[in-house]
A and B are shown apart, each in its own frame.
Chain A
Amino acid sequence: MEIVYFARTREEVGHASEYLSLPEAIADVNDLMDHLQQRGQNYRAAFDDRTKLRVSVNQLYVDFDHPLQDSDEVAFFPPMTGG
């Protein structure tokens, strides 16, 4: 699975993208965030307040209970501020 980060989330995590071989225990986006949070302080900072996070899977916005597959591209980012 490819995981990409944008804006404040990218800065908190410390990198723009990474690859993860999806552990079987991870069924949905919530599980993935729980898994990533165990990786260190940078991830804890990024995933602590999930009300300020948005997620897309294969470039479509989804809810945190969206199921995941190893072939997915998952993106995490804060609420959008374009325009």
Chain B
Amino acid sequence: MKIMVQHQDFDIGAEISALCAGRRDIGAVVTFTGLVRDFHGPDKIHKMTLEHFPGMAEQQLAEICATAAGRWPLQGGCVIHRTGSLRPGDRIVLVVTLSAHRQAAFEAAEFIMDWLKTAAPFWKKEETARGSQWVDAKSADIEKCKKWQE
């Protein structure tokens, strides 16, 4: 699966077209796109900065995708994660999974996102009227990952 960590935006349609070009074996394409919200609880967010661990981030994403490919019959896909300064409404992350049938593609996309949130070295910092704060990890995200290990 293609793994990209980049500041620049991505085009979901172009990614799907590239992944499926010339293929006749794919019956299901599932995509997940994460966007920057303009709120966090009562706070209005003006800007978000995404920091990552270069090298390790790509490696962890590749490992998560390899685990998904070992668990579901996938026929390809991609993960693109943006870094740097983003604004509300901007795309942050894209996960695309391809399979012959929809269930594998749905489940694998969810698996990849759940693990990406807790195991890939990225950190969000939000700018609000109160100043800028690092986002705290959510225990619900960790619990959701544990579900896949049952």
Quick check: A82 and B93 within 8 Å, CB to CB?
yes
Known: A80-B120, A82-B81. A59 touches B51 (CB 8 A): no
Question: Nearest-CB distance from A69 to chain B (Å)?
Answer: 19
Q: Which residues of A contact B116 (CB under 8 A)?
A: 82-83
Quick check: B125 and A7 within 8 Å, CB to CB?
yes
Question: Nearest-CB distance from B16 to chain A (Å)?
Answer: 20
Quick check: A77 and B113 within 8 Å, CB to CB?
no
B136: nearest residue on chain A (CB-CB)? Answer: A81
Instruction: Give per-residue flags for A71-83: 1 if the beta carbon is below 8 A from chain B beta carbons, else 0.
Output: 0000101111111
Give the number of residues in B that approach A within 8 Å (Cβ atoms): 27
Question: Nearest-CB distance from B88 to chain A (Å)?
Answer: 16
Question: Nearest-CB distance from B5 to chain A (Å)?
Answer: 10
Instruction: Give per-residue flags for A5-24: 1 if the beta carbon is below 8 A from chain B beta carbons, else 0.
Output: 01110010000000000000
Q: Which interface class (under 10, 10 to 19, 20 to 34, 35 or more) fits A?
A: 10 to 19
Q: Which residues of A contact B93 (CB under 8 A)?
A: 82-83
Instruction: Give per-residue flags for A53-83: 1 if the beta carbon is below 8 A from chain B beta carbons, else 0.
Output: 0001001010000000000000101111111
Kindly state whether residue B137 has any CB partner on chain A within 8 Å.
yes
Known: A77-B123, A78-B137. A83 touches B113 (CB 8 A): yes
Using a CB–CB distance below 8 Å, which chain A residues touch chain B? 4, 6-8, 11, 56, 59, 61, 75, 77-83
